[in-house]
Structure 1
Amino acid sequence: MDPEITSLAQAGGAALVALMASDAWQVTREGFVQLWQRMQPHRADAVAAQLDAGRAETAAAAEADDQEVLRELRTEWQGRLRRLLVARPEAAAELRRLLDEVAPGAPLDSSTVTQRATASGHARIYQAGRDQHINER
């Protein structure tokens, strides 16, 4: 599997699900439906319906703070985008352009780190999204 396709699909899926719960949803939805209309017109109506269902699921999951459902939705859309990019590699440029339009500045690396911590008393919490070096004396 081409790592660039995988990375782009991951970024696209993550951005899409994040945008499902935003004010930019309508523009995002139209952009993704148009992408499928150009690349796989026979699937565009089904994708539009899946996008609408995904938005409803995202709203319910966000309200319930159900991170597992949001993670599953990201994975589903990452898979759909990966399959589209494998079948139609020329879609990569359009997907990049669409992501630049609807999610400018979003990294094309979909690595997401969610951290939560609670401390009380004299406790210390050290969190890092990657490497962390602590030198206490």
Structure 2
Amino acid sequence: MDPTYLVGLAEAGALALVTAMATDAWAGIRSGAARVLAGGGDADREAAAGWLDRTRESLLAVPVERQPDAVATLRSTLDELLRARLAADPTVGVELAEIVRRVDGGAGPSGPGPHQHAQVIGGSHVYQAGRDIRISGGRRNR
């Protein structure tokens, strides 16, 4: 596989795993995530699954005001781990790409057209559009 693709896949995979950890989607990708991270035998996969579970619990326990930092740190950690796994065994990229597609609603790291991702933390609002967007209403304080 192309090294540039693998770097992008690791980044997309890290984002997908962190995103899934914060939702009910986690149950559907947990075992695949453990296979991707661990490789090796059943004991390695069980250890990876345990680490992922503890990491998810820790992430969910982080107070709202500290979530952006916790998410960024976890994404960085997972990105490094995934890059190392892909460098050691590029074939895990197939399963990682499938995880990304499942979490991302069908678009992969090199999917067609533009790709948008938004993450809401702490009750913020996100507006996304494929073209122009106009938001009006409400009153401004001057």
Fold in common (TM above 0.5):
yes
Residue 134 of structure 1 corresponds to which residue in structure 2? none
**Structure 1 residue 40, shift from structure 2 partner:** 2.6
Compare relative contact order (CA 8 Å, sep 6+) and give the higher one, 1 or 2: 1
Q: TM-score, normalised by structure 2?
A: 0.68
TM-score relative to the length of structure 1: 0.70
* Matched residue SS, 1:121: coil
Q: In the alignment, is the contact (CA less than 8 A) between 2:37 and 2:48 conserved in 1?
A: yes
CA distance in 1, matches of 2:96, 2:108: 13
Work out the CA distance in 2 between the residues paired with 1:75 and 1:111. 20
1:26 partnered with 2:24: no
1:76 aligned partner, one-letter code: T
User: What runs of 5+ residues in structure 1 fail to find an aligned partner?
Assistant: 123-137
Is contact 1:6–1:82 with CA below 8 Å preserved after alignment? yes
How far apart are residue 104 of structure 1 and its match?
2.1
Cα separation, 1, equivalents of 2:108 and 2:52: 22
Distance 2:19 2:29 in 1: 10
Structure 1 residue runs of 4 or more that deviate by more than 6 Å after TM superposition? 109-116
* Unmatched segments (≥5 aa) in structure 2: 125-139
Cα distance in 1 between the residues matched to 2:82 and 2:37: 10
| Number of residue pairs the alignment of both structures matches | 119
